[in-house]
Amino acid sequence: MPRDYVREHGDRSAEQTVELLAENLADYRAIVHRTDAEGLAGLLAGLLDKRGSSSVLVPPGLDPAWLERTGVTRVADRAESTPDELDRVDSVVTACAVAIAETGTIVLDGSPDQGRRRITLVPDHHICVVRVPGQVVSSVPQGLERLDPARPLTWISGPSATSDIELDRVEGVHGPRTLEVVLVSDA
């Protein structure tokens, strides 16, 4: 069967695609920040400080320079960590595999700079770094082309939330209550 569906809605420049991503992330109640590579370490230190974080979970392949300006205790991503140990961590910082503008979705694939799935689901605060425009695509089909389906994919569209029977929104039920996304300019 031919797959001739629309692969992208509209004709956007790379800059417009990044703007759409930021807008859709904010619509999902993610907090969006922007910086360049030189400002990343300072921004991350400021975010952790503002949050009052005393510990941050760090995937094994995360660039150590990203956290060089913070005095927060770094907790290694260990397979033997229990859910209780992970719950005591204040924040987690990861990279991402791809970000999809049209849906405001960030996808993690368990790469070394992203860590195992559970480290982004148990701590209450997740900071995810997205390199723009290189990691940003317009649509889900374009995102799927960049992903390995054999990897453990985690699709994130805003902080964890659900609604009760009265449609009252409750955040942090099955994932972080706060998602902060840092868009880092490749230039």
Domain count for the chain, please give it: 1
Residue 6 lies in a domain: no
Domain membership flag for residue 9: no
Closest CA to 95 of 67, 129, 63: 129
Query: Is residue 147 pLDDT above 70, yes or no?
Result: yes
Confidence of residue 162 (pLDDT cuts 50, 70, 90): low
- Give the whole-angstrom CA distance, residue 147 versus residue 165: 36
Residue 165 counted as domain residue: yes
The answer to whether residue 4 sits within a structural domain is no
The mean pLDDT of 129-141, rounded to a whole number, is: 97
Q: What is the pLDDT of residue 177?
A: 85
CATH code of residue 87: 3.40.50.10420
Check if the beta carbon of residue 115 is closer than 8 Å to that of residue 81: no
Q: Is residue 43 part of a domain?
A: yes
Query: Could you list the residue range(s) of the whole structural domain that residue 107 is in?
Result: 14-185
Residue 59 pLDDT > 70 = yes
Asked if 8 contacts 142 with a C-beta cutoff of 8 angstroms, the reply is yes
Q: What is the average pLDDT across 80-106?
A: 95
- Lowest average pLDDT, out of 15-19, 134-138, 142-146, 168-172, goes to 168-172
What is the band of 160 on the pLDDT scale with cuts at 50, 70, 90?
low
Position 2 in a domain:
no
Could you tell me the pTM of the whole model? Answer: 0.89
Please indicate, yes or no, if residue 1 is contained in any of the structural domains.
no
Nearest Cα neighbor of 129 from 172, 91, 159, 99 is 99
> Per the domain annotation, does 31 fall within a domain?
yes
Q: What is the pLDDT of residue 174?
A: 56
